[in-house]
Amino acid sequence: MISITGLGAISAAGRNIAETLDSFSLNRRTAGPVTLFDTPLKYPVFEVKGIPDKYNLEGQRTLSLALCAIDAALKDAALDDLSSYRVGVCLGTTVASQLNDLEFYKSYRTTGSAPMTSVDRYLKGNLAEFISHRIKAKGPALTVVNACSSGTDAIGVALSWLNNGLCDIAVAGGADELNRVPLCGFGSLGIVSMDPCAPFDRDRKGLNLGEGAGVVVLETKESAGKRGIISDLFLAGYGSSSDAYHLTAPHPEGTGLKASIEKSLSDAGIQPHDVSFINAHGTATHDNDLVEGNVLANIFGTGLKMLSTKGFTGHTLGAAGGLEAVFTTAGLREGWIPASTGFENKDDAIPLIPVREKTNIAGRYAVSTSLAFGGNNAAIVIGRM
């Protein structure tokens, strides 16, 4: 069994787990205009405010966010010194401090020269490699760049490392910063909302972008036992599948998502009725919510407790799977999930209704799903003893 012994998160919902749970409980969200860079686009976004100075690396915001979440997760896991353990690092991202070179290209094209700061930042911007060196990890290190399923896929890879004896402990999840390239890209697709997003709502108008980092510390039961750590939370299963249908749209029947969920349940050795709630990908785009809502209803039934936490964080791209894994684990641990904020009106084309208020949950298992460009789909099952 692979225990979850530490959690760390930073997003617009909070700079740590306690702040995040407070925002969830109060149904508080903070979408506002972009302040991190100049842009004529007026889309609301979910920015992280007040990254602690000790984590703030100039020009490398993704790494800063990751450091903040990882430090919190390691503290939560009581891992002050990693020198005695085989620790793997597997992190998902899309931006990874490597899309911040527009001024470099502009300068080079207009003047024929440019400072090498951006090049140096690019070379040092491999997320997992940077973190592995920073925390002096002695196990495998891998950065997963698989669009918006990156964080979930990174957790799945870490699970395979642990199950196959490649390491005893793994730091896994995702991190991403707000950046003008994806903001313009999603805008060009016409799927960014001018209002705070409303996942699964009948009148949803599109997504809001966000930023953050979410990290879990995964550990074999034997390793945790040697450290005297007892955790009743564990990573039970993972599934991944590709639609091979369209560059940016999910398969209309959700074939890849269905396959990934069924694989994760099989991996966990459970049935759909064992799942107490699902933290859905829920981007508030028309196609994603329609496909996902119908797949979830088909597998789990219309009585399923379901929510999207993107109404609190925005779509954090490569960080989404990591953050939502943390939120799902925290939901099981705390015994409640927040309202699926932004949702008001049922879409008749979607059989499920997200939870409208803070809701107590009592089951042993929960699922977190991710859908991504390129037809990538991933799902993880998290359990509690």
Maximum distance among all alpha carbons in the chain?
A: 63
* Residue range 47-61, pLDDT digits in tens: 999 999 999 998 899
How many domains does the chain fold into? 1
* Residue range 187-210, pLDDT digits in tens: 999 999 999 999 999 999 999 999
Residues recorded for the chain: 385
The alpha carbon of 225 is separated from its chain's Cα centroid by a whole number of angstroms, namely: 28
Average pLDDT score over residue span 282-289: 97
- pLDDT at residue 145 in the model: 94
Rounded to 5°, the CA angle 381-128-13 comes to 60
* Residue range 145-183, pLDDT digits in tens: 999 999 999 999 999 999 999 999 999 999 999 999 999
Look over the chain and give the mean of its residue pLDDT values, rounded to a whole number.
95
Which CATH number goes with the domain that contains 31? 3.40.47.10
Supply 112's token pair. Answer: 């024929």
Q: Is 11 a residue whose pLDDT tops 90?
A: yes
Distance separating alpha carbons of residues 42 and 26, to the nearest angstrom: 27
Contacting residues for 161 by C-beta, under 8 A, at least 6 apart: 88, 90, 139, 140, 167, 170
Place of tokens 């991504």: 372
Q: Which of 282, 276, 384 is closest to 333 using CA atoms?
A: 384
* Residue range 325-351, pLDDT digits in tens: 999 999 999 999 999 999 999 999 999
169-176 and 87-92 as β-strands: parallel, antiparallel, unpaired?
parallel
Query: Phi and psi at residue 240, in whole multiples of 5°?
Result: -140, 140
Distance separating alpha carbons of residues 238 and 377, to the nearest angstrom: 11
Other Cβ atoms less than 10 A from the Cβ of 114: the count is 17
Place of tokens 């990874």: 96
Q: Is 1 a residue whose pLDDT tops 90?
A: no
- pLDDT at residue 122 in the model: 80
Place of tokens 């960080």: 319
Average pLDDT score over residue span 232-258: 93
- pLDDT at residue 97 in the model: 66
Q: How confident is the model at residue 101 (pLDDT cuts 50, 70, 90)?
A: confident
Distance separating alpha carbons of residues 313 and 258, to the nearest angstrom: 25
Percentage of the chain beyond pLDDT 70 is 99
Range of the domain at 54: 2-384
Q: How confident is the model at residue 102 (pLDDT cuts 50, 70, 90)?
A: confident
- pLDDT at residue 95 in the model: 85
Contacting residues for 176 by C-beta, under 8 A, at least 6 apart: 62, 65, 93, 94, 95, 96, 211, 212, 213, 316, 317, 318, 319
- pLDDT at residue 43 in the model: 95
Helix orientation angle between 17-26 and 320-334, rounded to the nearest 10 degrees: 80
- pLDDT at residue 247 in the model: 85
* Residue range 70-99, pLDDT digits in tens: 999 999 999 998 988 999 999 999 988 667
Place of tokens 């749970």: 21
